[in-house]
């Protein structure tokens, strides 16, 4: 069965509230994006967006190998069908540079939301 490399940066990380959605998947390591993203507090969970040139920062998270069934669950959790998030390629630094990794980018307006720098904690 094939798997997809998935970057998680919020409540799906180990020890946080939605981590159970990754049960049965394989943790591959910690990771950090290139400094092209911004993360916002959406009220108990974060949303990562692609930043305008020169305005982004690096976001810390984890890379997981997720199978097709796991991806279906994550898409449901992230509201992909409702247009809340899109499952898109994410550029990572270090050991993950150049790897085909995807993550969930937030699609809705973030105006008025508090920006979170670096790492999401609950």
Q: Please, are residues 21 and 77 in contact by the beta-carbon 8 Å criterion?
A: yes
Active site residues: 78
CA angle 52, 89, 7 (to 5 degrees): 100
CA distance 68 to 84: 20
Interstrand relation of 37-41 and 101-106 (parallel, antiparallel or unpaired): unpaired
């Amino acid at each position: 069965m094939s798997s997809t490399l998935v970057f998680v940066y919020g409540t799906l990380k180990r020890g946080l509230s939605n981590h159970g959605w990754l049960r049965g998947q394989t943790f591959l390591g910690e990771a950090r994006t290139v400094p092209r993203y911004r993360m916002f507090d959406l009220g108990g969970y974060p949303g990562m967006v692609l930043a305008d040139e020169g305005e982004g920062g690096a976001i810390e998270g984890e890379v997981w190998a997720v199978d097709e069934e796991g991806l279906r669950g994550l898409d449901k959790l992230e509201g992909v069908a409702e247009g809340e998030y899109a499952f898109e390629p994410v550029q990572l630094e270090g050991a993950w540079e150049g790897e085909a990794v995807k993550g969930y980018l937030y699609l809705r307006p973030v105006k008025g939301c508090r920006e979170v720098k670096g790492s999401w904690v609950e």
